[in-house]
Amino acid sequence: MKEINRREFLKASTAAGAALVAGSVFSGEGSDAYGAVKIPEVEKLTISVITDNYYDCLGTPDRIARRTNWLTPGITLHTEHGLGYYIETEMNGKTGTFMFDFGWDFEGVGKNIKIMNLDLRKLDALGLSHGHLDHLGGLIPMLKANRDKIRKGIPLYVGQEAFAHRFIKLPAIYKPMDGLNDLGQLNREELDKSGTVSIKEINETTPIVPGAYLTGNIERVTEYEKGSPLLFIKRGEQLENDLFQGEQALIFNVKGKGLVVVSSCAHAGIINTVHQARKISGVEKLHAVIGGFHLTGAPPEKIQKTVADMKAINPDYIVPMHCTGWPAITTFQREMPQQFVLNMAGTRYIFHS
């Protein structure tokens, strides 16, 4: 029945997606060729955070947030410098389930999946935001460990340069990690040989399951979200500054509430990401902005500009995670106290009409 629902969804999406296939939306940085995409409303959206940088076993529920409280001797929820989501949608009697990013260390991530009772047999699709180890590290080990659960041929959606070799060049303050550090790359050949996934490379707004859309390539419109000078990508034999032109985020439209925008690292800038979601969907109302905002180590003026612009956008909820960094997280909490929700590994965010 689930497979039938997916086929029905893809068939129904043909008309709404025709403009996308025709190339009427942005397909490269610097373009203003976006066309509005009617993103259908979901009745219910559940976002489970499999892993993140922080966990409190006594964390209490907070409006949209439900915590995984775990006090079993010898077993605890895993945290890391990584991020992974398990997401479920309900729309017009149909359901969709997918994972978006997979954390860094599958030994810990796999344990969290079991503790949170996340059913990998239900997965309709997989998605990767970008080619960094803290988001892709758990992917291949997860596929290998769950061959009997994850259906063969499951689509894996990735953006441009997801398989590129990446590096970070750290200044002397980061001794002994200073200098050029190899961040590895996702092995496409290994994925192809596994026969588990069907790779779908995209650069346009794309439906992944009912009610869930990948942004496609994200336009840069703010003057201060310029990326990090520390991050590099290998193109041919050259190392070049990595602007993450293929990075993906997620857009949902919750019935009666507005948009929920989910990022992983927001190398493109969280404000740019939100602007893109509103422009693509034609929906101005922001219900929630969730994810890594990549403000760790950012200068104070960049943090202040980001927070000021987010306050002007005025989402109902703001949930900074992962690479946002403590100074930025505490600034959001101070400047947007009624909207701020503290994230931790094992949290489920539930949105419904």
Q: What share of the chain is helix, strand, coil (3-state, %, to 5)?
A: 25, 30, 45
Residue 168, pLDDT above cutoff 60: yes
125-127 and 154-158 beta bridge pairing: parallel
Domain segments of the chain: what residues? 39-352
Q: pLDDT at position 43, please? A: 97
33-83 pLDDT, tens digit each: 455 788 999 999 999 999 999 999 999 999 999 999 988 888 899 999 999
Q: Cα(94)–Cα(24) distance, rounded to whole angstroms?
A: 28
pLDDT (0 to 100) of residue 35: 57
**Superfamily name and number for 39-352:** Ribonuclease Z/Hydroxyacylglutathione hydrolase-like (3.60.15.10)
pLDDT of residue 232 exceeding 90 = yes
pLDDT digits (tens, 9 = 90+) for 266-311: 999 999 999 999 999 999 999 999 999 999 999 999 999 999 999 9
Q: What pLDDT sits at residue 305?
A: 98
pLDDT reported for residue 194: 85
Q: Which two tokens stand for residue 199?
A: 């790779």
